[in-house]
Structure 1
Amino acid sequence: MLDFLRRTLAFLREKQILQKLGVVLSITVICFALYILYQMLSDIDLDELLKALRGTEVKTVLLAGLCVAAGYFTLTFYDFFALRAIGKTEIPYRVAAFAGFTSYSIGHNVGASVFTGGAVRYRIYSSWDMTAIDVAKVCFLAGLTFWLGNVAVLGIGIVYHPEAASSIDQLPIWLNRVLAIVLLAGLVGYVAWVSSRPRHVGRGSWTVVLPGGPLTLVQIMIGIIDLSFCALAMYMLMPNEPHVGFVVVAVIFVTATLLGFASHSPGGLGVFDAAMLYGLTHFDSQFNKEELLAGMLLFRVLYYITPFMISVMLLLLREVILGALARRRPSGPHRHDDISAPGPS
């Protein structure tokens, strides 16, 4: 059976069928989300939207901004953890933080984050003698941390509040709870699997040693903390009435984020917004659309636009410094000629 699956996957990769199916799926998700978004926003009152934006307290925006900053701070440990997992212990946290922050904030906004984020990481880590294969391993382990955190948050959240998931997927509450239990059982099974003995994925130089049980639990906690801070920022920017619990918002937020990620649209634009509006208004029809949209626009500014602008400026500054150092050294820059390089000992 395993040999059959391997041959099938090899055939699909050879014919690029999986890639084509992925493109079709992305386009389908985006088109469907834009249709839903159009239907939901067709009766939006622009004056009411502007009033809701102006009515948001500065203190609320600042607190949400702090949560976003905390989320991005936690996100830097995705790369730091991955570097330690592949044995790159000589690379300090500040380099991992710089690479993690810039790659994720640019990848989130540009779309196709696997490629755009990987390109940013390679540009930074290549200064530390890391190869393209090393960077690919970091991307894989960082992505694994992201998915483990998502599974944990969705599993726990849906078990506690299955009606939150039902507001998006329209499945029966009992079925969503069962699916969440299956998710958590799979997560527990994965932890047990990597705990039993060293596990490897990939072949040859592309082989990655998966973190063992205790380190996998660390991965899960990093992902949970990151997603919780981001969901908390969204929760703070929501209307005060009607009141819904944080867990409900977290489940809908993570689901919307994953749908946006699956669409590969820049910043999940259209897909994330449609899922959030659809989920929250179906969970409680008393939500004011203008107030919801105002909170989502502020969240997009805080979580997407502001980090993107900061990242672009930091990368430009880095390139200017590297260029200046290269001109001072005719033989070419040293591998640690970097704004994040270690200083003199």
Structure 2
Amino acid sequence: MLRKFVARLLITAAIALAAWLVYRALRRHSFDEIMSSLAQIPMGHLLAGIGFVFLSYFCLTFFDTLAVRYVGRELAYPRIAIASFTSLSIGHNVGGAALSSGAIRYRFYSRWGLSVEEVAEIILFCGVTVGLGLATLAGLCGLIMPAGVARITGFSKTGVLLLGTACLLASIGYVLLAHFFQGSLRVFRWSFELPTSRIAAGQVIVGTANFLCVSACLHQLLRAFGSPSFLDTATAYVGANVTAIVSHVPGGIGVLEATIAFLLGSSASIGALIAFRAIYFFLPLPLGLISLSVAEFVVHRGGGRSPASNAKT
């Protein structure tokens, strides 16, 4: 009886948390604003945007897949995908991703036999993958369209080319370092065990693919209010995302809107950003909370036994 009570209490708490998170995020915009913004977007663009959201979260599952392989574990992909989606759909809204999504990752992976140290390595690995994706996409935008990036950022064209080259060299250098240098890389007080070159290359690919999908989602929505190019949108999103990460604002609320509206120079973009937040942040959140609630319920119904025996080293 006590276990059933605890399980029900956890589910109730999860539902309450979902309601609070949605309220906190939505209080900046009225229901009429959200519905009006969504109504201005053609159905084809809206569906395409939602499709790119699903592709983004699909790419994110490979962050964890590579990370689990990096720590020398073997887990079935469906398990990794559930842990990844649940942790990130909640972490994106709560903010402080390393702590919020990291805590949820630990809830899942510890049940499957991974140690605290291994989960910490997975969290760090995924953080590095995010950085590689941002750097690579920023580099590509800078080298492919330096004039456009210079206009958006205010840098000189030469400065954009140099920055773009530096970003790409950082990503390429990471892969080369992983290939030629086997062992731990020490940066100040932190020590980082380098992955194999195949895993490092995979990080660059899936990291970049994820941000391309997110940028494509935003671009589809912005097209209903103007005609920005995809690279303009990607550049603005990369800049906004870096700002949101540095600020640690939950879900980047306010930071994303202000940065992109400033960089793209159009107040009409706020309507698209409201719609973007609705489908990229709010839509996955209830699904992630349901997933977490079900996982907690199953564990408690089973007496708290961990399926660690199914995790193979």
| Cα distance change, pair 52–335 in 1 and its aligned pair in 2 (3 A) | closer
Distance in 1 (alpha carbons) for counterparts of 2:36 and 2:305: 55
Structure having greater relative contact order (Cα 8 Å, sep ≥ 6): 2
Deviates more, 1:157-166 or 1:252-261: 157-166
| Cα distance change, pair 178–117 in 1 and its aligned pair in 2 (3 A) | same
Deviates more, 1:102-111 or 1:241-250: 241-250
Deviations, residues 177-207 of structure 1 (Å, cap 9, x unaligned): 211112222322222222113131469xx96
Residue equivalent to 1:254: 238
* Structure of higher CA gyration radius: 1
Q: 2:272 aligns with which of 284, 295, 300?
A: 295
Give the TM-score, by structure 1 length: 0.75
Residue equivalent to 1:335: 306
| Cα distance change, pair 180–54 in 1 and its aligned pair in 2 (3 A) | same
Question: How many aligned positions are there?
Answer: 281
For the aligned residues, what is the CA RMSD?
2.6
The answer to whether residue 34 in structure 2 is matched with residue 63 in structure 1 is no
Give, as a single letter, the amino acid of the residue that structure 2 aligns with 1:254. Answer: V
Q: 1:320 aligns with which of 287, 290, 297?
A: 297
Partner SS state of residue 87, structure 1: coil
Distance in 1 (alpha carbons) for counterparts of 2:186 and 2:82: 27
| Cα distance change, pair 49–69 in 1 and its aligned pair in 2 (3 A) | closer
Give the TM-score, by structure 2 length: 0.82
Deviation for aligned residue 1:334: 2.6
Give, as a single letter, the amino acid of the residue that structure 2 aligns with 1:65. Answer: I
Matches within 5 A, 1:197-208: 197-201=181-185, 208=192
**Runs of 4+ in structure 1 displaced over 6 angstroms?**
46-50
Distance in 2 (alpha carbons) for counterparts of 1:280 and 1:308: 28
Question: CA contact under 8 A between 2:37 and 2:274: conserved in structure 1?
Answer: no
The answer to whether residue 305 in structure 2 is matched with residue 305 in structure 1 is no
Give, as a single letter, the amino acid of the residue that structure 2 aligns with 1:294. Answer: G
| Cα distance change, pair 322–52 in 1 and its aligned pair in 2 (3 A) | closer
| Cα distance change, pair 135–50 in 1 and its aligned pair in 2 (3 A) | closer
Distance in 1 (alpha carbons) for counterparts of 2:195 and 2:63: 13
Q: Which consecutive unaligned segments of at least 5 residues does structure 1 have?
A: 1-40, 282-286, 327-332
Matches within 5 A, 1:26-41: none
Give, as a single letter, the amino acid of the residue that structure 2 aligns with 1:335. Answer: S
Give, as a single letter, the amino acid of the residue that structure 1 aligns with 2:282. Answer: I
Matches within 5 A, 1:139-154: 139-154=123-138
Give, as a single letter, the amino acid of the residue that structure 2 aligns with 1:315. Answer: L
Matches within 5 A, 1:212-291: 212-240=196-224, 242-281=226-265, 287=266, 289-290=267-268
Distance in 2 (alpha carbons) for counterparts of 1:202 and 1:125: 26
Question: CA contact under 8 A between 1:194 and 1:213: conserved in structure 2?
Answer: yes
Deviation for aligned residue 1:241: 6.2
Question: CA contact under 8 A between 1:228 and 1:250: conserved in structure 2?
Answer: yes
Deviation for aligned residue 1:163: 3.9
Distance in 2 (alpha carbons) for counterparts of 1:107 and 1:168: 29
| Cα distance change, pair 47–132 in 1 and its aligned pair in 2 (3 A) | closer
